[in-house]
Structure 1
């Protein structure tokens, strides 16, 4: 005969077992229902034949009611081993640029074919250097109103902190819908303006794990390309321009003397400084700040979507995506942005992507209007994340004049961590692909030689080599 203690223990075990069974049934039922949010995409207009990779699109609702806030995403499974490979969530900058930019122009498995637009659906080609060769990637349209995401009250949901909270909420809900990825290593990734929100998102995910938010996220680290961080980047833009031979020694020395090396908060009564800054703007008026090697294109409509921290370096551009087609030059980097707009607004494309009818009017790659920039600097988040020991990769295209590698190096130095591997070249096919350095806070800094603001777009082979080595915890 069992003792009362053993009998009580057996009863508790049965109750716990039954509770776990009930929990699993509820979870499976929820997953079964919520999986309707995601739909597999078999074919894409402009691409010949079935897709040679697994693409899923869908919406995740964040509001109390389904139609309050709907975040659209593209999910591509790793082409290697999705059960074991890392999971990456990619957020494009802007603020307010669709992460379709990351998918189609930078790190995804397809790109637009460079050819004159003839009125038909633009053609797509495979990108062999896709980061999905070694990781599964979620490309998310946030902030709300960006890409195909929509909400009832957009104005109230378009600021830095809402972007942070929404991305965090999206990820946990997405993982409930995709429980097979709960055990995969997770990394947050982004570039440009995502340097502001990205580290804050990682910190919020970390804190959520600590207080037991469900489901748990297997957070390992983050990576950022040419990231806006302190909003003081313009103070390094001028030394960068001098180092690259874009302004004379005399102008550089005069700028330093008259502006006292402060080029952001300039006293309007300081006529000598303003004179030098005007001369500086004239010297760079025919240069693309995103990559000083690019062909300069007056119809570069993307610049009007960027924040004042970049606009201040460039001239005002009046043309838009509605410019006559004859004005578009296929040699311009932004020609592909034009193709993307034509592609995403085609009804056959929307049908293939399972876009809900009546939820979105004209698709625009970037939509910055009414976005409130609340976070003055993301430096403090890097401090906090470094203390927690998360891995990080910070990389810079070394020909970007908008967020120069010098400004990124400056805030990394300010973290005050010791160097564990000093400055050295990293190689691809026995050629220097850039330079790198590692720090004791598990942070790796790297440059990508000859690339600009979106390094993997300019140098896809080098970008893939850098990412695939780092994500596998191998030396660059």
Structure 2
């Protein structure tokens, strides 16, 4: 028996939306008649094909092949999640017996795939990331609401692909989850001019893994995180806290760029103090390196052909352009979105145990501050021991209602659930939407590096070629899974011109909302499926933004109208409230034994600077200050990467990029997205989380070894959430979670808010611990095991079937 056991009335098979994309082996491509309609490779956001979100969908893994197309799942972790973390297949290298032959990539099954019993959809988000298209930098979203809007459009369009999808729940992330609920509310307003083309998205919940949600709160948790993890000492903790306070100061001043830079300084100093190869997993001996294999795998022309994208399409892994576009958004909080989601949908917050970037402590910090009447009960809830004894389609969703003539679109990849163990009725199978972070990282990372049904063979020998291999930890095992390249300009998503790339989260949310609604329209079945939005890292803003936007739109719907069926959002190692989160790097590294007291004090000073710029609203300066924090942390720790301070080399997410594009392509076009969102980095979306946690399920999860957006960072801003249930959540027991005889992590839950720390994982949690990530997302969506709803709260997302 599992602690996530659902109540009798909650038996719909979830659909997971993952903001990322995928490649499915040709021999496993579903027949064209599998779906009632032709599924495009991108979800077009505008009328002309220049701005698109890329999506990849995986059906339930154990579902009969002939019926793959009848179900959809939406989910949301970005970059290389599909083929490196939770997709049904891993990308791996294959060595030929004839050494004269060059090595090639192969796919290997992922036993921890999230589409085992759910449909799984990866979305490359925002546009400009992965295969999502942003023809120009201006189209890339600058904030979480803008990203959420894009995701909403993509999800809606995906749902339209199959009538069954309208009835299914969809698991999505905070920003898009918030957006869906808001959108549904809007559509249900009595005085709303009802447009039959607009639908309520059946959002079932949101799951956020190691997410950045409330940066101001989270940035202040790094020192404590490392300190309590035995990674840094007291002197280093104090030094790092000084830099955290600087980031918070900058964030509160609304100096977003400076606050972001200050937050980076905090992370860099933490990295330097700890001397770890990566802050994403402090138990690793080397950084993540197999993500590069996924990128390499996606460079292949045959792979692109299977994806349904043009041979000339350029895969953009972690887009620098998107990163710049959302730079000032880093320290902006989306916690208010979680506040809404937790009240009206399921919310899963999960973290890997060893993630020192956006880990469990970071999440708990901002969760405690949620504006939710049940937060006190959640905080006092017992933390129990948790034991656990494809069809795919891809295309563009046109960006609707913003710039209808430019052609900007969001690229998506959809995987149907592999196994219909939840319900034989596909219309009740949850959909997960996965959104990659960055900003500007393609959801192809999540698709081929983390949680997709296939992974790039990153465990291959250097002489072996890039290939895809099954991912046993795929998130589409029992859920539908959608990967979205978000915002436009990211991956294969299209931004007709740079000016169309979103500059803030509201703009991102608008685009996501259009994409999601148009995706839902792709199949009548999509409209009713429970929707969960998930994502990691910078998706700690995307998820709350789109979740917030959805809930607001749902609230505006006329009575009896059907909105997006958003049930919850899940944020993994996310950056949500930069002002708080940037102040956590020193304490995180300190408590983890990675830096000493002197280093901690030095890093803390930089954090204070980042916070100061953030408070002043000097976003560019705040972002720069955060970068200084992260750089100093990197130098102090000597780690190969801050994403997992136990690694000796960084994650090889570039394998996905190499896999998706020609060798001659040297520059990731999605870099423009990161540049455009530069001032968005230090802006908080915590208010979105606060809204989401009141109306939907919210999951915040982190890997143990992430030094960028790890557990301490998340707990810092969660504690500041304005939510009536925050006290109960903060006082809830943190229970031991076991898979078999092994401790998989810890779970704290009260009401709609869940916080998970996954042991032995870094920033890219599904890649490090695929089976644990899979078990977590499945139990959370299904209210099983430690996620059992022993304490019920009234959630209303205004969804009408």
* TM-score (norm. length: structure 1): 0.72
Q: 2:666 and 2:526 mapped to 1: Cα distance?
A: 33
Please state how far the C-alpha of 1:245 moved relative to its aligned partner: 1.3
Matching residue of 1:342 = 658
Which residue number corresponds to residue 115 of structure 1? 460
User: Which residue in the other structure is 1:411 paired with?
Assistant: 717
Aligned partner of residue 737 in structure 2, secondary structure: strand
Aligned length, in residue pairs: 384
Confirm whether residue 368 of structure 1 aligns to residue 674 of structure 2.
yes
SS in structure 1 opposite 2:413?
Answer: strand
The equivalent residue for 2:699 is: 393
Indicate the residue corresponding to 2:608 in structure 1.
262
Counterpart-to-counterpart distance in 2, 1:381 and 1:183:
24
> Which residue of structure 1 lines up, in the alignment, with residue 744 of structure 2?
433
Distance 1:102 1:48, change over 3 A: closer
- Which one of 644, 647, 654 corresponds to residue 291 of structure 1? 644
What's the secondary structure of 1:290's corresponding residue? coil
Of 667, 685, 689, the residue aligned with 1:378 is 685
* CA apart distance, 1:117: 5.9
**Structure 1 pair 62–381 and aligned structure 2 pair: CA distance change class (3 A):** same
Deviations 1:113-161 (A, max 9, x none): 13356696x2110001111002101101111111111132233323223
The offset of 1:429, in angstroms, is 1.3
Q: Is the 8 A contact 2:454 2:471 kept in 1?
A: yes
1:370 offset after TM fit, Å? 2.6
Question: In 2, are the aligned partners of 1:117 and 1:339 still within 8 Å (CA)?
Answer: no
CA distance in 2, matches of 1:464, 1:145: 29
Which residue among 476, 494, 499 is the counterpart of 1:155? 499
Cα gap change, 1:434 to 1:110, in 2 (>3 Å): same
In 1, the alpha carbon distance for the partners of 2:771 and 2:469 equals: 16
Choose the corresponding residue for 1:422, options 733, 739, 749: 733
Change (3 A) 1:98 1:215: farther
Following superposition, the deviation at residue 36 of structure 1 comes to 5.9
1:75 matched to which residue of 2? 414
1:246 is matched with which residue?
Answer: 594
Match of 1:315 in 2: none
Alignment of 1:187-206 (within 5 A): 187-206=532-551
Shift of 1:288: 1.9
Task: Give unmatched runs, 5+ long, in structure 2.
Answer: 1-34, 43-55, 58-64, 66-88, 92-103, 109-302, 307-389, 421-425, 614-620, 622-627, 787-801
CA–CA distance in structure 2, aligned partners of residues 279 and 95 of structure 1: 21
SS across alignment from 2:412: strand
Aligned residue for 2:410, secondary structure, equals strand
Q: Secondary structure at the match of 1:68?
A: coil
Please tell me whether Structure 1 or Structure 2 has the larger radius of gyration of its CA atoms.
Answer: 1
Give the alignment partner of residue 393 of structure 2, picking from 29, 35, 56. Answer: 56
Deviations 1:56-80 (A, max 9, x none): 1111111565762122110000112
Corresponding residue SS for 1:183: strand
Q: Does the residue aligned with 2:450 lie in a helix, a strand or coil?
A: helix
**Partners of 2:489 and 2:669 within 8 A in 1:** no
Residue of structure 2 in register with 1:89 after alignment: 433
Q: Is the contact between residue 607 and residue 629 of structure 2 (CA under 8 Å) also seen in structure 1?
A: no
1:215 to 1:73, Cα distance in 2 relative to 1, 3 A: farther
SS at match of 1:207: helix
Who is 2:520 aligned against? 175
Partner of 1:146: 490
Deviations 1:345-399 (A, max 9, x none): 159xxxxxxxxxxxx99766765233354471111111112232x1111101111
1:82-120 CA-to-partner distances (Å, cap 9, x unmatched) read: 432211111100111111111111111111113356696
Alpha-carbon shift at residue 339 of structure 1 (Å) = 2.2
Q: CA deviation at 1:250?
A: 4.6
Q: Distance in 2 between matches of 1:280 and 1:186?
A: 38
**Is 1:227 equivalent to 2:538 in the alignment?**
no
Does structure 2 retain, via aligned residues, the 8 Å contact 1:155–1:370? no
Secondary structure of 1:435's match? Answer: strand
Residue 431 (structure 1) shift: 1.4
Q: Distance in 2 between the 1:407 and 1:129 partners?
A: 26
TM-fit CA distance, 1:413: 2.0
Pick from 228, 232, 236 the counterpart of residue 584 of structure 2. Answer: 236
Unaligned runs of 5+ in 1: 1-31, 269-274, 298-332, 348-359
Residue pair 2:645, 2:707 contacting (<8 A) in 1 also:
yes
What secondary structure, in the 3-state scheme, does the structure 2 residue paired with 1:102 have?
helix
Label 1:173 to 1:295 Cα distance change in 2 as closer, same or farther (>3 A).
Answer: same
- C-alpha separation in 2, matches of 1:280 and 1:398: 17
Contact 2:540–2:576 (Cα < 8 Å) also in 1? yes
2:463 is aligned with 1:126: no
Specify whether residues 238 and 184 from structure 1 end up closer, same or farther in structure 2 by C-alpha distance, changes over 3 A only.
Answer: same
Deviation at 1:204, TM superposition (A): 1.0
Asked whether the equivalents of residues 59 and 72 of structure 1 are also in contact (C-alpha less than 8 Å), the reply is yes
Q: 1:260 to 1:285 in 2, by over 3 A?
A: closer
| Higher RCO, 1 vs 2 (CA within 8 Å, ≥6 residues apart) | 2
* Further displaced range: 413-422 or 125-134: 413-422
Aligned residue in 2 for 1:463: 773
Shift in Å, 1:255: 6.2
Alignment partner of 2:529: what SS?
A: coil
Residue 183 (structure 1) shift? 1.2
Partner of 1:22: none
Give secondary structure in 1 for the equivalent of 2:418.
coil
Change (3 A) 1:254 1:79: closer
Change (3 A) 1:130 1:241: same
Match in the other structure for 1:184: 529
Distance 1:85 1:248, change over 3 A: same
Greater displacement, 54-63 / 244-253: 244-253
C-alpha separation in 2, matches of 1:38 and 1:109: 17
Q: Which residue of 1 aligns with 2:264?
A: none
CA contact (8 A) 2:508 2:545 kept: no
CA RMSD of aligned residues (A): 3.6
Equivalent residues of 1:399, 1:450 under 8 A apart: yes
Q: How much does 1:215 deviate?
A: 5.4
